[in-house]
Structure 1
Amino acid sequence: MGLQQRVMEDMKAAMKAKDTVALESLRAIKSALLLAQTETGPGKELSEEDEVKLVQKLVKQRKDSAAIYKEQGREDLAEPELAQALIIEKFLPEQLTEEEIEKVVVQTIDAVGASGMKDMGKVMGIVSQELAGQADGKTISNIVKAKLAN
């Protein structure tokens, strides 16, 4: 079942359960999917990779908004954003732990022969492509920096 069908099924369930947070989150996914499909042209389906990137973007937007609200002391606005992020994250592939990401980073550094921060872009490109959808870029970046700084 494709992402769009899963979203529609979950929307029906959320409507029946009168779950407004879930419904709002699912509508955001549906809207983003429709927008992306119209950009690609008529009759063209989004690839699974594009769908994952789109969902990751939505989660990142919610988390960034929540962080800004928290900085401003607006917990009342941050909580719904985080709740939506949790619901949207359910549509992403299983996320890797930091230890699993670290293993991939170390293997990539060894394979590329990276020796310092000058090689960060090369390592980031390979690791980001390999772990697409399974880890967010910020986590990967922090681990790569830590490993290359040693």
Structure 2
Amino acid sequence: MSDLKDTIKSAMKDAMRAKDKPRLTTIRSIQAEIKRIEVDERIELDDARVLAVLDKMLKQRRDSISQFEAADRHDLADIEKAEVTVVQEFLPQALTEDEITDMVVQAIADTGADGMKDMGKVMGVLKAPMQGRANMGDVSKLIKAKLA
């Protein structure tokens, strides 16, 4: 079992002991998504794949927050924000703006990208090291700005 899955499992036990229902619900949804993928694909997820699952869940929550706020449903947006906080606990330390910019500049130099046609190459290089540490939508915008 991966270290990250062990961490999530122990966090669930802690939330159960503390009777923290909102946190427990979020952690259970994380475990359910991991289990769903393992059953569907008949594999044991490693830490990198678990990070990808967490990153996807974070993106879904952020999209929901923006939609709820646009619909003036702040009660639901607050629930989603609480879930974002719990999911982020299991992700590695987020990169700073400067670190992201440096990594993008380095990736552009390494791939020899000179236009928008090379954006896929740059994203391919950056996806693994930035997984769970940066919002890839923001990274994509930065790459477009640098390649334009």
Structure 1 length as normaliser, TM-score?
A: 0.89
For structure 2, the residue ranges without an aligned partner over 5 or more in a row are: none
Q: Which residue of 2 is the match for residue 82 of structure 1?
A: 81
- Please state whether the residue corresponding to 2:91 is helix, strand or coil: coil
2:14 equivalent to 1:13: yes
Cα shift at 1:91: 0.8
Q: Which residue of 2 is the match for residue 45 of structure 1?
A: 44
Q: Following superposition, which runs of at least 4 residues in structure 1 exceed 6 angstroms of deviation?
A: none
Identity of aligned residues (%): 39
**Aligned residues, how many?**
147
For 1:117, give the aligned amino acid.
Answer: M
CA RMSD of superposed structures (Å): 1.6
Q: Which residue of 1 is the match for residue 126 of structure 2?
A: 127
- Please state whether the residue corresponding to 2:90 is helix, strand or coil: coil
For structure 1, the residue ranges without an aligned partner over 5 or more in a row are: none
Q: Which residue of 1 is the match for residue 4 of structure 2?
A: 3
For 2:121, give the aligned amino acid.
Answer: K
Of 128-137 and 57-66, deviating more is 128-137
- Please state whether the residue corresponding to 1:92 is helix, strand or coil: coil
Cα shift at 1:38: 0.7
Q: Which residue of 1 is the match for residue 103 of structure 2?
A: 104
Of 117-126 and 137-146, deviating more is 117-126
Structure 1 contact 128–140 (Cα < 8 Å) conserved: no
Cα shift at 1:112: 2.1
For 1:116, give the aligned amino acid.
Answer: G
For 1:71, give the aligned amino acid.
Answer: A
Structural mapping, 1:51-62, within 5 Å: 51-62=50-61
Q: Which residue of 2 is the match for residue 116 of structure 1?
A: 115
Of 77-86 and 120-129, deviating more is 120-129
Distance in 2, Cα, partners of 1:79 & 1:85? 10
Distance in 1, Cα, partners of 2:98 & 2:64? 27
Distance in 2, Cα, partners of 1:108 & 1:7? 32
Cα shift at 1:24: 1.0
The one-character-per-residue Cα deviations of 1:21-51 (angstroms, maximum 9, x if unpaired) are 211110111111111111232xx42121111
